[in-house]
Structure 1
Amino acid sequence: MPRRRARHRTGRGARGACLCQGNRSGPERGRLTDSTGNRLRYAVRRADLRAVAESRRRLRDHLRQWGVPALADTAELLTTEIVTNALQHTGGGAVLTATLSAGPARKLRVEVHDSLGRRPPGGGRPADDATSGRGLLLVEALADTWGVQARGAGKVVWFEIDAAAAA
């Protein structure tokens, strides 16, 4: 079920592998975008936390190409949180997909699909002295909508940001 926040805020690899539609050679090879040019897919290998930075870089580059660089700060932060969660809490890899919808009500949708854990992320509020556990609080606070969907043996954690408001 999608979750909404009250207000919208926008801020002004070698380790993973790019994927695209029609890629039959596996996650080690592929192009950065599919044929429509409004989609990024990037596979991050199991336990490769250094690839999180590459995920951010690729997303930032695509947002610039798509003409919505104002979304970069917020989108990179939230992407970092959900990619890192997928790698740390499932013990497997993940696939990042970012798409920018067309039309006047453009939305950036970022999804991270893991294939090893169906358990929903989160577990309540962390203790005041906890050193982690605040990532989904950031997602909830900064994304327009977000949610979790079971998919196969795993799940997809996703968020959307209104790109039209940032233009």
Structure 2
Amino acid sequence: MLHEDRLSYTPAASSVTLARHRAVQLVTEWGYPELAWSVGLVVSELGTNSLMHGCIRGRLFQVRNVLRVGTLRVEVSDPRGERLPHARVAADDECFGRGLRIVAEVADRWGTEPRTVGKTVFAEFDVRDGGGRAKSVGRQHG
């Protein structure tokens, strides 16, 4: 692992903003400024989903950003393991329901993993050593 950052947040809308800003700053510091906007968007979408569908009053949600050789991974974990996310097609007049489709478009992969308590929703970006984004063969939901 080259870099890792993990922070827990209170279940409030302002926390999603803080997590997004932190992720953008970290990704830039880690040498991938061209991914900052996409990573910020993914943190915002996954954090908002966690707030709306995965948080329990009084329980924190966690955002973890990890840079490994070849992969930048964003994870958002919350205590509601029984409420797994799924991408859906939102109607034109709906205000919500597009978040995971957006994540699927900007990240190379996304998926879920169970935890002892709760779940983790992740998105991954393929990266090259020394900066730059690798060309992705295809996106997949994992």
TM-score by length of 2: 0.82
State the partner residue of 1:109: 73
For the 8 Å contact 1:71–1:163, the answer to whether it is kept is: no
Equivalent residues in 2 for 1:36-115 (5 A)? 38-46=3-11, 48-92=12-56, 93-102=60-69, 106-115=70-79
Deviations 1:10-55 (A, max 9, x none): xxxxxxxxxxxxxxxxxxxxxxxxxx76111111112x11111111
State the partner residue of 1:130: 94
Distance in 1, Cα, partners of 2:116 & 2:51? 17
Distance in 1, Cα, partners of 2:44 & 2:124? 14
The verdict on how the C-alpha distance between 1:123 and 1:160 changes in structure 2, with shifts beyond 3 A counting, is closer
% identical aligned pairs? 34
TM-score by length of 1: 0.71
Structure 1 ranges of 4+ moved more than 6 A: none
State the partner residue of 2:137: none
Equivalent residue pairs, number? 128
The verdict on how the C-alpha distance between 1:126 and 1:65 changes in structure 2, with shifts beyond 3 A counting, is same
Q: Which secondary structure state, in structure 1, belongs to the residue aligned with residue 125 of structure 2? A: strand
Please list every run of 5 or more consecutive structure 1 residues that lacks an aligned counterpart in the other structure: 1-35
State the partner residue of 1:19: none
For the 8 Å contact 2:81–2:115, the answer to whether it is kept is: no
Please list every run of 5 or more consecutive structure 2 residues that lacks an aligned counterpart in the other structure: 135-142
